[in-house]
Amino acid sequence: MERLRVNELFVSIQGESSFAGLACAFIRLAGCPLDCRWCDTAYARQDPGRDLGLDALLAWVEAQGVDLVEVTGGEPLAQAGTPALLAALCDRGRTVLLETSGAFDIGAVDTRVHVIMDVKCPSSGMQERLHRPNLALVTAKDEVKFVLADRADYEYARAVIAGHGLEGRCGLLLSTVAGRLAPAAVVEWMLADRLRARFQLQMHKCIWPDRDRGV
């Protein structure tokens, strides 16, 4: 039986992506081989996690009565059992989101899953960890996210979007590193460039600004 290392389980609203504002059951897996400068879940990266079997995770999701489920981290695809968990959740009729850094091949992910790939920009220090073949695999149900700390990050995002033909092929999300870049600046750049992307704020952080976990 597949087992995974879990950091936390909770129900909140989905704070990002085109699913923002909806009730969502979160499975946050432990561990991540990346060390992003702006990581806002370092506690999950450093945590060895508790070991839970697939059946226990599916039973927890069933008990929450929520149709939308996100598997996040950490980096979920760093664990071999994650594709099986994603497929099992889909088999049970859930709408399933996978939040991933893009550092691992998404080819083994069930095609029913909505992949939300957080492409790391230069200011993160981790841009070279992107598994670039993933950008050829995303489809209309998937979303590619860029978190920006400066204008150079924005230009990097534009280059990736144009270079891989992402406009119109998948959802595109731009957001800012809190306290590093004014949201208004990014919106103005996007409007000037007529960039076909969605600007987003982390809704859960606006609602619960003093909470780091369980939201």
What DSSP string describes 28-75?
EE---S---TT-S-HHHHH---EEEEHHHHHHHHHHHT-SEEEEESS-
Q: Which two tokens stand for residue 35?
A: 């060390």
Average pLDDT rounded to a whole number, residues 161-171: 97
Average pLDDT, the chain: 94
Within a domain: 14: yes
Closest CA to 119 of 106, 130, 111: 130
Whole-number pLDDT of residue 186: 98
Q: What is the pLDDT of residues 97-123, one digit of tens each?
A: 999 999 999 999 999 999 999 999 999
Question: Is the model's pTM score more than 0.85?
Answer: yes
Within a domain: 214: no
Within a domain: 191: yes
Within a domain: 215: no
Q: What total of structural domains would you count in the chain?
A: 1
Q: Hunting for tokens 């080819």 — which residue is that? A: 107
Whole-number pLDDT of residue 41: 84
Within a domain: 16: yes
- Model confidence at 187, in pLDDT bands (50, 70, 90)? very high
Average pLDDT rounded to a whole number, residues 63-87: 97
Q: What CATH number should be reported for the domain holding residue 133?
A: 3.20.20.70
Q: What range does the domain containing 43 cover?
A: 3-207
Q: Which two tokens stand for residue 42?
A: 């370092």
Whole-number pLDDT of residue 1: 63
Is 82 a residue whose pLDDT tops 90? yes
Angle, to 10 degrees, between the axis of helix 151-163 and the axis of helix 183-193?
Answer: 40
